[in-house]
Amino acid sequence: MFRTFFQIGKHVSKHEQTNAIKMVTSWHVSEQRRYASDANKQKTMEDLDGPSLITSLYWLFGKGYFQTTHQMQIEHSNIYGPLWKSKYGPLVVVNVASAELIEQVLRQEGRHPVRTDMPHWRTYRQLSNQAYGPLTEMGAQWQQIRSVLNPRMLKSQHVSAYCNPINNVVSDFLEKVAWLRDTKGDGIMVNDLAGELYKFAFEGICSVLFENRMGCLNEEVPEDTQKFIISVGEMFRLSPIVILFPKYTWPYLPFWKHFVTVWDHLFLVAEQQVRYKMEKIQENVRKGQPLQGEYLTHLLVSEQMSVTEILGSITELLLAGVDTTSNTISWSLYHMAMEPEIQEKLFQEVISICPGKQVPTSDDITRMPWLKAVVKETLRMYPVVPGNARINVENEIIVGEHLFPKNTLFHLCHYAVSYDKNVFQRPQAFLPERWLREGRGEAKKIQHPFGSVPFGFGVRACLGRRVAELEMYLLLSRLIKRYEVRADPEGTMVQPITRTLLVPAAPINLQFIDRTVKQQEDPLVTKQVSSEGH
Ligand code: HEM
């Protein structure tokens, strides 16, 4: 029914579409209820199957799924079907593992969608008198924050202005790759690519927010920034552990103090930047110089938020900007190293749009469909957020055949759906062509629009999406233009683990062959010959 509506909807405005969706949704709820009361068998949450708390703990710690909860989504949906209930510590969770049912939850998310109430993240802010940002705020205050933050993060004319600062960071990253290869990688290898890309991503998001260079791509990384990157990882690693325990036990947990310390450091680094920028602005005002500039200056000058509120938001933007883009780029390169024909197609696309020394702009990127397809396919196979969530705070809702009370916590099993063969043919294969308009006819037919939604959905969707895409597109296009990436001949398959976000379980090491010297001398061949000579 929704599909038919959207086909007709091509000719109506977005506002009309939204109203119509609301009408259709409420019609759906009342129709189902009428049917249910006729038959006197409305199913509720009580009728849902699923593992008990003990069984869940056994899966997590006995069977060892604690770091592979994304894989557990698949196992559990095979056992219980696309909708089941489970207990995670003190939380009761309704798991949703089909594209259709995920669509139903998201379309009924209300005006101020709530992801989860994030008590552990919010408690830190209460304890330290810090403000909530877009990730942690809720209700009308959340909407207010987004209305201030959205325009310069999501509107294309503003985002394309970030192309130059990001390209500068990409240039430095390419130099860093050359340096790493030459000094630490036998002239060919870059070890622990994800670790290097964390630094790129942090530098990239800082260039957008502050237009400041943090020195992450120097040979020696400043201690504070390195500590920030480690703190992001630690915070994500500890979050699912803390949340397993009831709130009153947190101060007594051995790792709670560490959790608080890493948050302290995240806020500290953001605060240094905010203070520095405020001084700069005051200096410019004193000198009568114009006050325009990057994101943070705009926030401070527009005075729509207090300095504490700006600090809360900047901290959350920084921490959301590190592990997300970096890991996606790592997986893309990892697959292209294993599948040279996919890489070659990207190389040909890039040099056809940007020949010679031309550096891609955001306009050029719009003419690189293969590049975008590679990133989409990477995010299907490695969704950075493998399981998202929603709480229906406004109304009770019907999902599938079940009626759920207000405030039910839904866990959206995006990873499981990404590998559902009813949605994606050959789900284990890396096939960027499935995202092209003229892509594989049959495969496209079954693809559901909610089969892969890596940046989330609706008004609560990712705030950094446009910046993240720009970073990934610029880095991948320029890296593949300069280097041919090859798999480590001694490497093994790298699997993902879940640490709140999906990350590689082991370092990704790849060979980088400089294309400019490749024609004259292939270092791989030279290396083999010389080692054979020994
Ligand atoms: C590959 C890169 C990224 C992916 C796949 C990604 C994915 C996501 C997802 C799935 C959500 C939840 C959306 C929802 O609940 O519907 C989200 C939220 C968010 N993301 Fe990203 N993200 C990425 C990069 C970034 C970057 C670079 C930033 C910062 C500039 C960022 C900032 C945020 C923020 C602030 C939120 C919370 C939005 C809100 O609750 O209102 N993300 N992201």
Q: Which two tokens stand for residue 225?
A: 């920034």
How many Å lie between the centroid of ligand 1 and the Cα of residue 302? 24
pLDDT at 3 over 80: no
Residue 456 clears pLDDT 60, i.e. is over it: yes
Alpha-helical segments (H) within 406-522: 414-418, 441-446, 465-482, 515-518
Ordered strands of the 409-412 beta sheet: 83-88, 91-96, 409-412, 388-391
Do 513 and 484 touch, CB atoms closer than 8 A?
A: yes
Q: Does 238 have pLDDT greater than 80?
A: yes
Q: Per-residue confidence at 151, pLDDT binned at 50, 70, 90?
A: very high
Q: How many CB atoms lie within 10 A of CB 337?
A: 22
- The Å distance, Cα 461 to ligand 1 centre, comes to 7
Q: Which residues line ligand 1 (CB under 6 A)?
A: 115, 134-135, 146, 205, 316-317, 320-321, 324-325, 328, 379, 384-385, 388, 454-457, 460-464, 467-468
pTM of the model: 0.89
248-282 per-position pLDDT tens digit: 999 999 999 999 999 999 999 999 988 888 888 88
The model's confidence at residue 518, banded by pLDDT at 50, 70 and 90, is low
Counting from 1 in the atom list of ligand 1, the atom nearest the Cα of 457 is 16
Percent of the chain with pLDDT over 90: 74
Residues 466-506 pLDDT 10s = 999 999 999 999 999 999 999 999 888 999 999 999 999 99
CA of 454 to the centre of ligand 1 (A): 9
> What ipTM does the predicted assembly reach?
0.99
Residue 519's pLDDT band, with cuts at 50, 70 and 90, is low
What per-residue confidence (pLDDT) applies to 10?
36
Tens-place pLDDT, residues 165-192? 999 999 999 999 999 999 998 899 999 9
Digit-coded pLDDT (tens) for 354-370: 999 999 999 999 999 99
Asked if residues 301 and 291 have their Cβ atoms less than 8 Å apart, the reply is yes
Ligand 1 centre distance from Cα of residue 131 (Å): 19
Q: CA separation (Å) from 379 to 72, 435, 472?
A: 19, 12, 12
- Ligand 1 atom 21: residue of nearest CA: 462
Rounded Cα–Cα distance for residues 291 and 283 (Å): 10
**What span, in angstroms and rounded, lies between the C-alpha atoms of 40 and 65?**
39
Could you tell me the pLDDT band of residue 210, with boundaries at 50, 70 and 90?
Answer: confident
Pick from 151, 48, 124, 70: which is nearest to 418 by CA? 70
Neighbour tally for 307: CB within 10 Å:
15
CA of 465 to the centre of ligand 1 (A): 6
Q: Which atom of ligand 1 is nearest to the CA of 471?
A: 27
How distant, in Å, are the alpha carbons of 56, 57, 91, 429 from that of 87? 7, 9, 6, 33
Helix (H, G, I), strand (E, B) or coil at 95: strand
DSSP string of 30-91, one letter each residue = HHHHHHHHHHT--EEGGG-----HHHHHIIIIIS--TT-HHHHHHHHHHHH-SEEEEEETTE
SS3 467: helix
Query: Using CA positions, which residue lies closest to atom 42 of ligand 1?
Result: 464
